[in-house]
């Protein structure tokens, strides 16, 4: 009797798995927590959203499990940053897309800027809220096109409400940065994340502690010495380091520059838990703008 029961349960489990395999694709799978926040703002409860990167993780270096990679293949839609950001994950996104899963590489839709040193496209577009507006519209359009049975009216209403909040953020940031004097607009950061913000709001990135736009690279002593000179020449008073990264290098630079330089933590690459100061994109940008203007 027990053996029969086991056989029946096994058969049921196989049947369920088979149904799951052929079921309509419903889930939206997003690579980074930041894009997850934007995607959830657009869809709300209208479709399940799974974010692969852990909250507060490093988008350059996080990886996915075999199970998560398989989930990419079954998604209704994949939303990824692209432009080389998710170094550990983009090949899985590309293979899922090649196998027929709809995929949106948001970075390719926002008018990418090149890195100043390498000329490669800079993936950190989210520091410009106007480009995030374009990204949200692109996510909305692909959700409506690719997620079966989605409630289109809900998605449109939610997106319009979020775009209004983005426009408010944009106006507020414009006012805050416009108030900075012309000789206090030089920016030094731990890692090259503010190219878009600088271009948009008229700041100058005079130096980056970690070269080549990757959080994975390490600077040489000569890189640091050169940057220390630039910091002195521009009269920089604050160096900004990402809150998720050790700021040791930024402190070494402050010592090498031989001037009094503060190291201020910013939330640049990822969101925080609810009590961490930047649980949403809108919170993150307000916190960073306050810190930059103060520094
Ligand atoms: Zn980065």
Q: What is the 56 CA–ligand 1 centroid distance (Å)?
A: 12
**CATH number of the domain encompassing residue 190:** 3.40.50.1980
18, part of any domain: no
Q: Is it the case that residue 253 has pLDDT exceeding 90?
A: no
Q: Rounded CA gap, 187 and 292, in Å?
A: 9
Q: Rounded CA gap, 152 and 158, in Å?
A: 10
Residues whose CB falls within 8 Å of the CB of residue 127, separated by 6 or more in sequence, listed in order: 193, 194, 195, 196, 197, 200, 268, 285, 288
96-135 tens-digit pLDDT: 999 999 999 999 999 999 987 788 999 999 999 999 999 9
129-170 tens-digit pLDDT: 999 999 999 999 999 999 999 999 999 999 999 999 999 999
Q: What is the 175 CA–ligand 1 centroid distance (Å)?
A: 26
Q: How many domains does the chain have?
A: 2
Q: Rounded CA gap, 219 and 212, in Å?
A: 9
Domain boundary among 137, 172, 207: 172
Structural domain boundaries, residue 250: 181-294
- Match 């040489």 to its residue by tokens: 220
222-239 tens-digit pLDDT: 777 787 888 887 778 787
Q: Rounded CA gap, 158 and 249, in Å?
A: 42
Q: What is the 192 CA–ligand 1 centroid distance (Å)?
A: 6
Q: What is the 21 CA–ligand 1 centroid distance (Å)?
A: 36
52 shares its domain with 159: yes
Enter the pTM of the model: 0.84
Q: Is it the case that residue 55 has pLDDT exceeding 50?
A: yes
Q: Of 69, 53, 21, 35, which is closest to residue 142 (Cα–Cα)?
A: 35
Q: Is it the case that residue 52 has pLDDT exceeding 90?
A: yes
Strand ranges for the chain from DSSP E: 28-30, 49-51, 77-80, 103-105, 186-191, 204-210, 238-242, 262-266
Q: What is the 11 CA–ligand 1 centroid distance (Å)?
A: 48
Length of the chain: 295
Q: What is the 153 CA–ligand 1 centroid distance (Å)?
A: 35
Q: What is the 159 CA–ligand 1 centroid distance (Å)?
A: 26
Q: What is the 123 CA–ligand 1 centroid distance (Å)?
A: 7
């Amino acid at each position: 009797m027990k053996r029969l029961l086991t056989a029946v349960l096994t058969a049921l489990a196989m049947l369920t798995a088979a149904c799951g395999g052929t079921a309509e694709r419903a889930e939206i799978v997003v690579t980074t927590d930041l894009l997850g926040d934007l995607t959830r703002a657009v869809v709300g409860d209208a479709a399940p959203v799974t974010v692969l990167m852990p909250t507060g993780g490093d988008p350059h270096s996080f990886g996915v499990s075999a199970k998560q990679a398989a989930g990419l293949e079954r998604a209704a839609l994949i939303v990824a940053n692209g432009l080389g950001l998710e170094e550990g994950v983009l090949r899985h996104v590309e293979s899922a897309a090649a196998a027929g899963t709809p995929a949106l590489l948001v970075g390719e839709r926002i008018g990418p800027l090149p890195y100043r040193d390498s000329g490669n496209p800079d993936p950190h577009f989210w520091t410009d809220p106007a480009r995030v507006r374009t990204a949200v519209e692109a996510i909305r359009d692909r959700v409506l096109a690719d997620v079966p049975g989605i409630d289109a009216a809900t998605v449109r209403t939610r997106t319009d409400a979020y775009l209004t909040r983005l426009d408010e953020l944009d106006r507020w940031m414009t006012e805050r940065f416009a108030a900075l004097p012309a000789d206090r607009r030089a920016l030094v950061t731990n890692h090259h994340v503010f190219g878009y913000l600088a271009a948009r709001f008229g700041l100058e990135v005079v130096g980056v502690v970690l070269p080549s736009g990757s959080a994975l690279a390490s600077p040489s002593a000569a890189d640091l010495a050169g940057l220390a000179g630039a910091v002195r020449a521009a009269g920089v008073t604050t160096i900004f380091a990402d809150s998720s990264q050790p700021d040791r290098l930024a402190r070494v630079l402050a010592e090498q520059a031989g001037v009094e330089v503060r190291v201020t933590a910013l939330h640049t690459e990822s969101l925080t838990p609810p009590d961490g100061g930047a649980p949403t994109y809108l919170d993150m940008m307000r916190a960073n703008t306050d810190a930059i203007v103060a520094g």
